Amino acid sequence: MGKLYVVPTPIGNLEDITLRALNVLKTVDVIYAEDTRTTAVLLRHYDIKTPLRSYHMHNEHQVTAHIVSSLAGEVTAALVSDAGTPGISDPGYLLVRACIRNGVEVECLPGATAFVPALVESGFPCEEFAFLGFPPVKKGRQSFFRSLAARQETIVLYESPHKIERTLSDLADALGPDREVSLSREISKMFHQTVRGTLSQLLSMQRERPFKGELVIVVSRSV
């Protein structure tokens, strides 16, 4: 029986990868990557020659069964996303579930995930938090933000730069403009920055000088 390793990859700095992850990437039979071009940069940096195959949101339904079939033999594989841990707002869940249902061993290595450093840097309580990924773009968006008002724990969201102003505005409407929030961008990259303030203050910052890069929003719990 083969095995699937879920391998976190750097979210910014290429040195943010564990020695164990590098060893797995070197020794498995094949690496399934969200974007083979992105993963190829990492593999070249560490002189890893393992064959690459595509596994992304547009083909995961088509190729999952084939991958599981190969793993049911003696093949070992690593699953990686462009950055961070597969399955956390990235492709991976379907393959992991299919492996488990078919008796294929799955092991997820510890490693980089963007929301953890953003949560810690916020200074908000970390003992209870809700990670909710990316807010809905259209269907269910307003009900999603309304539901946040009932939550008592720290809230963590992902957002892209071209949607951040709308999301901050929707958060302010749902939670009030004075709710404390922390916003981290470009975590582990050259322009890594965390800014803190109220939702109205961050909205003003966004309108004066738009935030760039991938963003993590951490909203303080209600008091």
Q: b/e string for 141-168 if b means 16 or more Cβ within 10 A?
A: eeeebeebeebebbbbbbbeeeebbebb
> Residue 113's closest CA among 135, 89, 78, 94?
89
Measured CA to CA in angstroms, residue 86 lies from 31, 46, 78, 142, 198 at distances of 13, 20, 10, 28, 32
- Domains of the chain, start order: 3-108 (3.40.1010.10), 115-219 (3.30.950.10)
% of the chain surpassing 90 pLDDT = 86
pLDDT value at residue 91:
83
Tens digit of each residue's pLDDT (9 = 90 or more) over 68-82: 999 988 899 999 999
Who's near 178: CB < 8 A, 6+ residues apart?
198, 199, 200
Tens digit of each residue's pLDDT (9 = 90 or more) over 122-166: 999 999 999 999 999 989 999 999 999 999 999 999 999 999 999
pLDDT band for 187, please (50, 70, 90 cuts).
very high
The Cα 166–Cα 152 span in angstroms is: 23
* pTM, rounded to two decimals: 0.89
